[in-house]
Structures are given as structure tokens and as C-alpha cells.
Amino acid sequence: MLHRADLLDVLRSAVPEDALHAGIEVREVHTDGTVVHAGGVSSADLVVGADGIRSITRRTVFPHAPAPRYAGYRTWRMIAPPRQVRSVETWGKGDRFGYAPLPDGRVYCYAVVRGPEGASGDIHALRRRFADWHDPIPALLDSVADDVLLGHDSYELPDLPSFVSGRVALLGDAAHAMTPNLGQGGCQALEDAVVLGAAGDLGAYDRARRPRAQMIVRRSRRVGVVAHWTSPVAVAARNTAMRLAPGSALIRSMEPVLNWTP
């Protein structure tokens, strides 16, 4: 488990300083490699649209692509002070709570709660909602400062027919935004980058990446559906099945996601 800020430091340290222009808004991208942005117009042999779930690259190059779909739950993320824990994710009746140690001993925590898009919330509401969950969940929530909560609705992007067009390639969430249930969105963006860097042509990138990324979008969606069941009968059946399944079977079921070589 790695803190996102640490990952960004690693990535940034590999980029020459004068290659990065922060704070320039991109407004339009064209398949001939022209990019209209706040600083003017540029043209390039290759434009990589790595501009996230609301990608302007996707919207201007693939104007008919459907918009991201709300999955029905919101994730609240926070970092708790150092404490001895192992990685755990607990499923309840419609809600979920997970935590995992960071390399420096602090604890990454997340609460996933069902609700309408854009629902508001704060740490006090989370403390109340998870007050009777198992140890150390209430204690973790109590130890978090009131103002360090990140709240994000969960979305997924319906399948695009291609990740490339002309001189433009989509990468990461711009191409295949997924629900966070498998912790794979950022991982898949990194895989895209490795493959794109090595691909002989953009068609090869699309053929290598689209089936895999879209398969993981579907798997992630299925996990979210089961994890957020609320019917007591369905939840009891799910919990029994999870208890009876050997750990090795669960790990094997993740093999198509985790067993990837460039």
C-alpha cells in the first residue's frame, strides 16, 4: 500500500523539469495532434489524453462516448495516525469499511457508503454510521482529524469502442474509469503507460490494453454489487459463501487481474 503523494513524487522525479507545464487547461484535442489550451495551440506527433474521468480529450475526440455512470456509492478516504493493523476490508449490510498499514505506520482507511450522487457527509456522520462495527474501526474513525476526509462518488465509464483515434491515445481513467472496488484504476493507468511506451503503433496499444482494462472494469463493478447488497437473506448467503470459500480460491479468482506481465 502506497500513499498517492509518494507515488506522484516517484513519477515526478522521472520527468525532466522543463517537460512539465502545470496549470495549463486543455480545451480541445483534435485527431491530427492539435491541442488547444490556455497557453495557445500546440501540435504533436502523439497526444496522450491522461486527463481523468471527465477527460476533455475523450469528449472532443470521441464526442459520442457515453458519460460515466454513477455506481450508487460514495467512498470516504482518510489517513489515521500510526497503529498496528493488518489489511482488512469488512462488508456489512450495504456499507463497507477497509484499512491498511502504510509503510510509515499510519493507517489508510476508507468507508464506502450507499447513497445518492453528491450526498454530503462528514467524519461525525461516519463515526455514527460505523459506531457498532468491529474493533478497531470506531477507534480509527475517532483518531482521524475532522478535516482530512476525502469524499468521492464512484463512477465507471461504459466501454469505449477504441482507446485511440488518429494521433491521439487515451490512457487511464480517460479511457476506462472504473469503480474503486479492486483498487485497480491507478494500477491500470500505469500498465497503459508501460504498454503505450513500448507499443510499435497505436493500434497495438489499443489491442493490448482495451480488453484487459474493460475486463477489470466489469469485475470491479461485480464486486461492488455484491459488497453493497442490503437484503438480509442475500447478505447472509454471501457471508456464508465467503466463510466457506478457501482463501486460496479467493486469491485464484484474482489471478486474471494480478497476474500480468508487460
Q: Which residues bind ligand FAD (CB under 6 A)?
A: 25-26, 50-52, 56, 75, 77, 152, 172-174, 180, 183-187, 189
Question: Which CB atom, from 166 or from 183, has the smaller least distance to ligand FAD?
Answer: 183
Nearer to ligand FAD, 56 or 109 (CB): 56
Q: Report the nearest approach of ligand FAD to the CB of residue 195 (Å).
A: 14
Give the span between the Cα atoms of 11 and 132, in whole angstroms. Answer: 40
Separation CA 86–CA 99 (nearest Å): 8
Q: Which residues contact 22 (CB under 8 A, 6 or more apart)?
A: none
CA pair distance 236, 200, nearest whole angstrom:
51
**Closer CB to ligand FAD, residue 94 or residue 186?**
186
- Contact (CB, 8 A) for 260 and 212: yes
Beta carbon of residue 56, minimum distance to ligand FAD (angstroms, whole number): 4
Helix, strand or coil, per DSSP, at residue 225: helix
Residue 227 CB, shortest distance to ligand FAD, in Å, is: 14
Task: Identify which of residues 107 and 174 has a Cβ nearer to ligand FAD in the complex.
Answer: 174
Q: How far is the CB of 94 from ligand FAD (least distance, A)?
A: 17
Contact 170, 57 (CB under 8 A): yes
Query: Least CB distance from residue 176 to ligand FAD, whole Å?
Result: 9
Task: Identify the sign of the CA torsion 161, 46, 18, 192.
Answer: positive
Q: Tell which residue, 68, 44, 22, has the closest CA to residue 175.
A: 68
Minimum distance of ligand FAD from residue 52's CB (angstroms):
3
Q: Which C-beta is closer to ligand FAD: that of 106 or that of 239?
A: 106
Sheet holding 40-43, edge to edge: 26-29, 34-37, 40-43
Q: Which residue matches cell numbers 491521439?
A: 168
- Complex with ligand FAD: residue 56 or 202, whichever CB lies closer: 56
